[in-house]
Amino acid sequence: AAPLDVDRIRADFPILGESVDGRPLAYLDSAATSQRPRQVIDAELEFVTRRNAAVHRGAHTLAALATDAFEDARAIVARFVGADEEQLVWTHGATEGLNLIAHSIEDASAQGVERFRLGPGDEIVTTEAEHHANLLPWQWLARRTGATLRHLPVLDDGRLDLDAAAAIIGPRTRLLTFAHVGNVLGIVNPVAELVALAHRHDALVVLDACQSVPHLPVDFPALDVDFAVFSGHKLLGPNAVGGLYGKAELLDALPPFLLGGSMITTVTLETAEFLPAPQRFEAGTQPVSQAVGLAAAAQYLDALDMDAVFAHEAHLGARLLDGLRGLPGIRLLGDADAPRVGLAAFDVEGVHAHDVGQFLDSRGIAVRVGHHCAQPLHRRFGITSTTRASSYVYTTDAEVDRFLEAVAEVRGFFGLGGGAAA
């Protein structure tokens, strides 16, 4: 694939022309939320300007146009992750998708659906590195069913401990869930090995693909995961929209999470019958203009070519890592020489992450500070917060270098050694 033409890409993103206190904005917070190109903004604008209506309901022309736009968007986004359109459920984001899976499994288990049976003695396995969105729903599911929640450990260099995984994942395992790419470590986890381990024991696999779908080519059926989730706002798309992928036979066997309009065939005062997937999981008024925007984002990324996107990310990831490794007083989380995206979280010895973030902001550099919704992972490394820089298709080498130069000054600025002069 041809390398990304970053200058041309940047011209598509109006917000990148903004400045912060007179300094050009260096946006290094794309893992929290990405920016939208003109093409996505225009697609949303065109939809709300000319085609906005409630979908799957009205008899009128506008409703039909809106429904077509909504379902076309589903087909485009499904294809982007290798799926068929009936395997893609619209959600409001990854968090909702993960809660949907956990709640629906609990309901299925309570109804005695064998594939989703969970009870005392069964195990749900996740990892120490998860975003809270991929931890709390499983804590809830374990509590509700009496199953035990177990955690794959993270090695000192940030990789998942696969030896431990082989020992933990076993005949009691009913479900394994983990992030494809961690939002703090940035490492691409070995999906194939973990899926093979889980499937050897007939366990379901749920993949949190929030940080992978935006940055590398991802094909859920090829990965053979049973369920997967992602968010639009990290994918050059709008917020309040996301996708839930499921294998067709599993979605068909799973009861709905939210109940209400748009998901039924027949309702009496006592009972209700539900539509097949994906509509069964889309109760209420759908995020229509957001879905249209997300489809435009998928097309934009397709045109760039996801292999080229990953090459760009891997390049920036290596540049971030190399740069940070060379700085005194910096401790990187997830230092492994493993496949990674353009993301690095680190601790500056003696300086609170919030101070680091404020210092960088004074230079026009936007990063994320805190625990990044991964408190157990920070605890595992004996710290409470880090500073995280993350890149995307519009990030330049020069921005990464500007960031590294500013980080090199932090300790000196706060009166500690190893500062700018080092």
Residues making contact with ligand PMP (CB under 6 A): 93-95, 131, 133-134, 179, 183, 208, 210-211, 231, 373
Nearest to 284 by CA among 266, 260, 308, 304: 260
From 7, 81, 80, 73, select the one nearest 43 (Cα to Cα).
73
Q: Are 353 and 347 spatial neighbours (Cβ–Cβ below 8 Å)? A: yes
Residue 211 CB, shortest distance to ligand PMP, in Å, is 5
**Quick one: the chain helix, strand, coil %, rounded to 5?**
45, 20, 40
Report the nearest approach of ligand PMP to the CB of residue 287 (Å).
12
Report, in Å, the least distance between residue 284 CB and ligand PMP: 17
Q: CB-based contacts of 349: which residues, under 8 Å, 6+ apart?
A: 329, 330, 331, 411, 416
Cβ–Cβ < 8 Å for 213, 81: yes
Nearer to ligand PMP, 183 or 395 (CB): 183
92 three-state secondary structure: coil
Q: Which of 140, 414 has the CB closer to ligand PMP?
A: 140
- Which residue among 54, 113, 311, 373 is the active-site one? 373
Is 210 considered catalytic here?
no
Closest to 331 in 3D by CA, of 418, 420, 215: 418
Q: What is the smallest separation between the CB atom of 192 and ligand PMP, expressed in angstroms? A: 19
Comparison of 66 and 213: residue with beta carbon closer to ligand PMP:
213
Quickly list DSSP for 157-189: TS-B-HHHHHHHSSTTEEEEEEESB-TTT-BB-
Query: Minimum distance between the CB of residue 229 and ligand PMP, rounded to whole angstroms?
Result: 7
By C-beta, is 93 or 190 nearer to ligand PMP?
93
Query: Which CA distances in Å does 82 have to 86, 341, 418?
Result: 12, 21, 48
Residues 135 and 95 sit within 8 Å (Cβ to Cβ)? no
Nearer to ligand PMP, 4 or 235 (CB): 235
Min separation Cβ 97 and ligand PMP, Å = 8
CB of 93 or CB of 317, closer to ligand PMP: 93
CA distances to 80, 317, 421, 422 from 409, rounded to whole Å, are 42, 21, 8, 9
Which amino acids are annotated catalytic?
Answer: 373
